[in-house]
Chains A and B, each alone.
Chain A
Amino acid sequence: MEHKKGCSGTPLESVLTERDWLFRSKPFRHVTAQEVFVPDFYSNLESAFRSIMRKGLSEQPDNHRFSRNMRKYDAYGYCFQNGECGPFEIFFEQQWHDVFVRLFNTTSSGDLEVCLHHHSIGGASGNAHNDLNDSWYPEKKDGAITVATNVHIHPSNPPKPGENQRLVMRSIAILFYLNNPVWQRGDGGETGLYTYRDQPIDQPDRAVPPRNNSLLAFECTPYSYHSFISNVSQPRNSLIMWIHRNFKETCDAWGEENIIWWHK
């Protein structure tokens, strides 16, 4: 883990294109947006994604390239290392963080996790889950944004006794789709949104396609059931990030009994 403060110097209003984001209430509260960034900026994101992809895929956890680092999830993940963010820095910044905290009218502990995911063709569908999970972050002295780079790799490892760590909870999940072939109905790779946890994965209430330069965001609640739906004919790439909030505020909002602990 590391402390990191966004410093791209890029004002968000200068790179956002579409300012008509859609806030929907069914099957649970979520936001979608198309053509999120201006073409030049989006193009830089794609280039940066491709340069990471060129390092190849690893079947073992590897901090330096896309690797099999997620249990029970048929995808390769890449977590950003210090100084390697390039244009992705925008996702680590306070201004980006504040947009979503304001949209969902929630609180934040200022702790972020930002990763890239790659599903090869034929990636298996996941299970419906709600992301109301725990995370551990280092103590911090100021209100700066804190970024975790390895909690996604080892989410099931709570800190050992004596380690000075804070318990926080995932509060908002944001998926940004990029570097994908042109999506057509039938390609799969959507993010399914569900009313029920045991709903068939291929029968979501809503399926958000992985169209380039679009995003999906939702608050992590006991009801935010979602899943990756198998990408039958095209690879599927995305950036995924979580904004966290304090344990107590999460318990007040959703009840401690509804938290899904990684290590249990």
Chain B
Amino acid sequence: MSNSADDMRVCLLTGAGGGLGTALCTEMDRRYLISAVCRSKLPRVDSQEVVFVDPLSQEPKRVPKTFVIKADFEDESQIERVIELTLARFGRIDLLINNAGQYITGPLVPGKELLEDASRMMEINALVPLRLAVTAARMFWKERRAENIKLSRNIVNVSSTAGLKLYENQGQSLYAASKAALNTLTVHMSHEFSRFGVRVNAVAPNSFPGIVPTSRVVEEILKLDAGSMSGEIVRVDADAAK
């Protein structure tokens, strides 16, 4: 039996159009109302924009729980718009999953193209999660300490093991730096956001679905939401699975 809307947690998810985004939307469907942010590619789940239908099914179409917001975070003004739309649609934000990211690799020398992409990748992978978190705090969380604690409101940043260790000959210098920055921001936000009762953690998976199944990354994110920890960077690697 599905929960009523009041019983469900409200999740703001970025990067919803990718593989992890779709997996999260699918897994969270029964217990979360999801504000799914994507640039152009929609998550493969029912939303106000698209509903998957079986042409031979006699059952009526379901009312979608996922609310898609199209936004390009290279435009900084989209941050506030995304928070506003989520609050207008669902009235609250219980979980922010910063999943949008860019993965651009290459050698530093010669590395003209990589350097040209550096600021954009740092922006999307580290600064956009920071801006979303801070804007959500300013617009909704900062004056709701007791409610935030009661509802265990929190942020999960999707980082990478590349931000924790060196993978040689992968050309990941700037990607790794951006994820390391996200890890550091996670720890600092955890400290600062504790003032108003919002937890902040990160998952740092190895490559998925190649090395780590996407379902494991989903599982770890949902564990963080269900738990009570803050300031943790949870490594999700093939070794850790054993």
Contacts and interface: CB of A to CB of B under 8 A. Distances in A.
Given A31-B53, A33-B55, A99-B56, 8 more contacts: A12-B56, A13-B56, A16-B55, A19-B55, A19-B56, A20-B53, A22-B50, A23-B52
B80 interface: no
Contact of A26 (B49, B54, B55, B58): B49
Nearest to A23: B51
Contacts of B61: 23
19 contacts: A12-B56, A13-B56, A16-B55, A19-B54, A20-B53, A20-B54, A21-B53, A21-B54, A22-B50, A22-B52, A23-B51, A23-B52, A23-B53, A23-B61, A24-B49, A25-B48, A25-B50, A31-B53, A33-B55
Contacts of B52: 20-23
A99 B61 CA distance: 13
Main secondary structure of the interface of A (DSSP, over half): mixed
A-B pairs, 4 with minimum CB distance: A23-B51, A99-B55, A19-B54, A24-B50
B53 A25 contact: no
A103 interface: yes
A258 to B, nearest CB: 25
Interface string B43-69: 000001111111110100100000000
Candidate in B48, B51, B53 with the most chain A CB atoms within 10 angstroms: B53
Contacts of A103: 53, 55
A141 interface: no
A102 B56 CA distance: 9
A33 B50 CA distance: 12
A235 to B, nearest CB: 28
Interface string B145-178: 0000000000000000000000000000000000
Contacts of A22: 50-53
A23 B55 contact: no
Contacts of B51: 22-23
A103 B54 CA distance: 9
B54 to A, nearest CB: 5
B123 to A, nearest CB: 28
Contacts of B50: 22-25
